[in-house]
């Protein structure tokens, strides 16, 4: 039994390190001047509600990230959840033009993303 306990502790210690460059989850992060923007930014709340009300919701997740001192919302749909995002919005809800260069830059900075919403 003691060996099992030691092995369990070893695996916990090894797996608890945060040396990965993966996105984080934080439903109460501060972005665009509010805490939990998915609940407190009117345009974002409406976008999520409108999506949920459809027969085939498209939003799989929403991420917040900072780039060049500005905060953005990155929307991933069910069809693109394994590739870079297909929609990016600023704090006021304005859609940003997404080029392949921008997709590549944002994806390479994914360790700075914070997940604020998932549909599942």
Q: Is residue 73 part of a domain?
A: yes
> Domain span at residue 84?
21-118
Domain count, the chain: 1
Is position 8 within any domain?
Answer: no
pTM: predicted TM-score of the whole model, two decimal places: 0.70
Q: By the 8 A CB rule, do 74 and 26 touch?
A: no
Domain assignment of residue 9, yes or no: no
Instruction: Identify whether 3 is part of a domain.
Output: no
* Token pair for 42: 């009117």
Contact 63, 113 (CB under 8 A): yes
* Residue 83 within any structural domain of the chain: yes
Q: Is residue 29 part of a domain?
A: yes
- Alpha-carbon Rg for the chain, nearest whole angstrom, is 17
Residues 118, 20: Cα–Cα separation, whole Å: 21
Q: Would residue 36 count as lying in a domain?
A: yes
> Measured in Å, how far apart are the chain's first and last C-alpha atoms?
38
pLDDT band for position 23 (50/70/90)? Answer: low
Structure tokens given for 51? 């999506």
**Each residue's pLDDT tens digit, 38-94:** 999 999 999 999 999 988 888 888 888 887 788 888 888 877 555 555 788 999 999
For the chain, give the number of residues: 120
């Amino acid at each position: 039994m003691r060996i099992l306990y030691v092995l369990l502790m070893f695996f916990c210690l090894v797996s608890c390190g945060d040396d990965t460059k993966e996105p984080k989850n934080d439903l109460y992060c501060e972005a665009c001047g509010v805490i939990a923007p998915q609940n407190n930014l009117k345009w974002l709340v409406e976008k999520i509600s409108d999506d949920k009300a459809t027969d085939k919701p498209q939003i799989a997740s929403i991420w917040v990230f900072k780039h060049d001192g500005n905060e953005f919302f990155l929307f991933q749909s069910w069809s693109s959840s394994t590739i870079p995002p297909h929609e990016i919005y600023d704090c006021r809800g304005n859609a940003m033009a997404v080029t392949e260069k921008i997709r590549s830059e944002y994806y390479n900075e994914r360790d700075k993303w914070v997940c604020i919403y998932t549909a599942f």
